[in-house]
Each structure stands twice: as C-alpha cells, then as structure tokens.
Amino acid sequence: MKVITRKEVDVVTDVCCDICDESTSKHGRHSPQFGMLQAQWGYGSSHDGEAFELHLCESCFFQALTNLQEQRRGELMFSEQGFEPDPDFGRVQGHSQELI
Ligand SMILES: [Zn+2]
C-alpha cells in the first residue's frame, strides 16, 4: 500500500557564479549550467579538515581554465619535459554531447 503525503521540498532553481555573481540559468530560463572547483583536504595536507566549493559560470570557468593553463606553462616551461599547449586541457574524453 502506498501512503501518500504532500511534502514541501527545497529545490535548487538557480546557481549564481561565485566570481561574477551572474545567474547560470539565465534567471530560470534553463537549468543551471556551471562548472565547479571543489576540494576536501584530509590527513597529510596542510589544510586538513577544510573543504572548498566554488560554482563558476561558463565564462568564468573558461577564464579559470585559461589561468590554470598559464600556471601550468610557468611550472613546466623550464622543466625537463617542457611545456606543450594542450587544447584539451582538463577535458574529459568521451564525454562530448552528441549532436542529433
Ligand atoms: Zn561568472
């Protein structure tokens, strides 16, 4: 037997970018589209017990990605392996949306 009760639940209707504060859903016109920078530091790290979570709009996400690539270039440019720009830096392979 199903027992049915009406419940009020909180749902996420929008996610605002933590950098520029813009809506990532065009103010509810579509589902929120955002990237995340997330960390949970544990034993052995100097930030043990700390957690971080940032939500980034599409524009700020790709700016952050560009900044990280630039940091990588700085880290590797004088190393033995050197630096080669990677146009797919951070991209998850096989996760592209198929166009129908
Ligand atoms: Zn933003």
Summarised one tens digit per residue, pLDDT across range 19-45 is 999 999 999 899 999 999 999 999 999
Task: Calculate how far, in angstroms, residue 60's C-alpha sits from the geometric centre of ligand 1.
Answer: 4
pLDDT tops 90 at residue 93: no
- Residue 13 pLDDT: 87
pLDDT tops 80 at residue 86: yes
pLDDT tops 60 at residue 100: no
pLDDT tops 60 at residue 4: yes
Task: Calculate how far, in angstroms, residue 66's C-alpha sits from the geometric centre of ligand 1.
Answer: 14
pTM for the whole structure: 0.80
- CA atoms in the 13 A half-sphere facing the CB of 12: 11
